[in-house]
Chain A
Amino acid sequence: MVAGQLPELIVNGAMISAVYALIAIGFTMIFGVGGVLNLAHGALIMSGAYIFAVFSRNDMLGLHSALAFVLTLGVIAVLSLALYEVLVRWVEENPVITFLSTVIVAVIATEAVLTVFGSPTMGMSLVSRNSVNLAEYGISTRIRWVQILGFVVSWIAIGLLWYYITQTDDGRSILAASMSERGAVLTAVNLHAVRAKTWLIAGTLAGIAGIFLGAADGATPQMWLNPLALAFIIVVIGGIGSIKGSVVAAYLIGFLEQFTVTFIGHEFRGILSLILLLLFILYMPQGLYGREYVHD
């Protein structure tokens, strides 16, 4: 049986990991550049799902999915930037206050969603609800179009981000600021502009992740918690501040979770990840591709 389930595991693992990577990259970029652990990251993902639902559902605005997708990304990017400009910017010098105020923003968002939409799961559709049957290729699983699209969009986003950060001057200033703020400032990088850009990018990625999570399983007011926990785990394992590390660790955690669900049991999902996280924190706190948590 085990061998028979292996292809299924690989396909499902790859699909879920692609979304995990999107969740973690935004979180790690904000930490890398500003040294801010944004606990409201999960709330941005949740907002992405709900705003997409408002734009696309036929009983609401009823826009075409593609248009709703683009509009949602714009709204979340602006929300993310607003979070930085209105709140985080003024408290970021104190990590404890940043921690607490961003988590309070997340619970405010939860209560706002509860007030407006109520607690039931809110469904939405991005592409056809049909699924592809892989039985003819010898894999006994069905794979939904929304999963395939999520995988493709995730890699397009990662590719664009990679190009922007390594190949353009504008993007390289983000890289520079994450390596050494003082060095970046000395080479005429506008630190505030770099931070604003980082929050915009992180917001966009969170928006994409939110739409795919919402389209796959529906949106709930508590859906910010698990993505945030995943972002923590992935970012620590990948190395805080490293985009490459986030992608690698996202796939590691995605496959590990899929493995747990397939072979051990649904309720143990997350436990192996937590054990892995503990091992990394104790023996390799800098993560796979990261540096030590130091600030100068």
Chain B
Amino acid sequence: MTSAKDTFDRGLDRVLGPIERAFSPVANLFNRYLGPYFGKLNGLQFLLLAVSILALLTAELWAPLVSGTMFRTLALASIWAIFAMSWDIQSGYTGYISFGHSVLSGIAAYTTALLLVNVNPEMPFVVTAVLSVLASLVLGLLIALPTLRLEGPYFSLITFVGVLLFYRLTTAYDALGGIPGFSQPEVFTWDPVMRYYYMLVPMLLVALVLTFLARSNLGMILVAIRENESAVSAAGINPTKFKIWSFVLSSIPMGIGGVLLVGFYGNVDPATFILVDNSIEMIAMAVLGGMGSILGPLGGAFLFEFLNEELLGGQSRSVRYMILWVLVLLVLVFARRGLFRKIWHRLGEVGGDRR
């Protein structure tokens, strides 16, 4: 007896099969030259990837047709995609869940603001940006060195307590701007189209580098730590060293994202940067797309922001977030691997092993 699902699956294969065959020559070309570094694709996966990148790059042509605020949504989604991917390379890959990643982007933002306020208001962007990312890296090391030596849930506990404490400090001290924060940093540009491209290009570069790293031996070791840490030790690899590496790899793009977010809002305050809800939002995006896959969280971030800003835009803030969190909970329970990963693997199954 064939169930409705089988019939549907077979119908899908019949529709997608010819498309897969049409694009598999290009995909094979990609596989031959870039496959070893970025993973192998079939025709459909290649098509999806190419269309997505093309759509992002040519948003100028279609975004105004969707809605007037679409450029803003896409720009925000690009920044949050950086956060979600950065969280993923550390937490999603190693299974050591961080609840405090917003501190890493926050320190970059605060470094930018403090440099402009206290040192030199005319400091060029290049200098503040580099120093800010460096600050994220240093703080990342400071958090990672003592805590990642431990196994089990302690790391998550420390990051959770840490982010609450950091939030309290930034709101309590006037030297850190207090609750209103700093408004000295300039936005990159007021032109929404240019602003979008300023956010998009770094995001694509981060995605490229992180995908490359995740597909390398390093990424495999990180996954092995998640699956069985003692087996990693038994293979003669020091898990602590690689957990710390994953945190370092995560803090650098977090810093970049923090700098971009400053350029987006032109304001540095605890509620935009440090609040623990921000860390949970990154996690939610990664969960929606699929933890442990870099490109999944990227898709998750765009889906999350699209739902939040465009589809649910009319609702009040708390209703919007309640709907989004319920959606995330449903994905966590019923589709643990995430929506985009599911689609990706379904596409990969079309055409069987002919590759």
Q: Which residues of A contact B (CB under 8 A)?
A: 37, 87, 90-91, 94-97, 99-101, 103-105, 107-108, 111-112, 114-115, 225-226, 228-229, 232-233, 236, 266-267, 269-271, 274, 277-278, 281-282, 285, 293
Contacts and interface: CB of A to CB of B under 8 A. Distances in A.
A95 B162 CA distance: 21
B160 A229 contact: yes
Q: Which 5 A-B pairs have the closest CB atoms?
A: A267-B172, A114-B318, A111-B322, A293-B152, A115-B318
A37 B169 CA distance: 27
B332 A91 contact: yes
A225 B97 contact: no
Given A100-B287, A107-B325, A282-B146, A236 B154 contact: yes
Interface of B: 95, 97, 99, 146-147, 149-154, 156-158, 160-162, 164-165, 168-169, 172-173, 276-277, 280, 283-284, 287, 316-319, 321-322, 325-326, 328-329, 332-333, 336
Given A225-B276, A233-B161, A271-B165, A103 B146 contact: no
Contact of A108 (B95, B153, B325): B325
Given A107-B325, A108-B329, A115-B318, 18 more contacts: A96-B97, A97-B332, A99-B97, A100-B97, A100-B283, A104-B328, A104-B329, A104-B332, A107-B277, A107-B280, A112-B318, A229-B164, A232-B160, A232-B161, A233-B161, A266-B172, A270-B161, A281-B150
B322 A112 contact: yes
Contacts of A87: 329, 333
| Residues of A contacting B: mostly | helix
Contact of A101 (B162, B321, B332): B332
B281 to A, nearest CB: 9
Given A107-B325, A108-B325, A112-B322, A96 B161 contact: no
User: Max chain B CB contacts within 10 Å: which of A90, A96, A226?
Assistant: A96
B122 to A, nearest CB: 32
Contact of A225 (B147, B164, B287, B326): B164
Contacts of B154: 236, 281, 285, 293
5 contacts: A94-B336, A99-B97, A105-B329, A232-B160, A281-B146
Contact of A278 (B158, B318, B321): B158
A99 B97 CA distance: 8
Given A107-B277, A107-B321, A282-B146, A101 B333 contact: yes
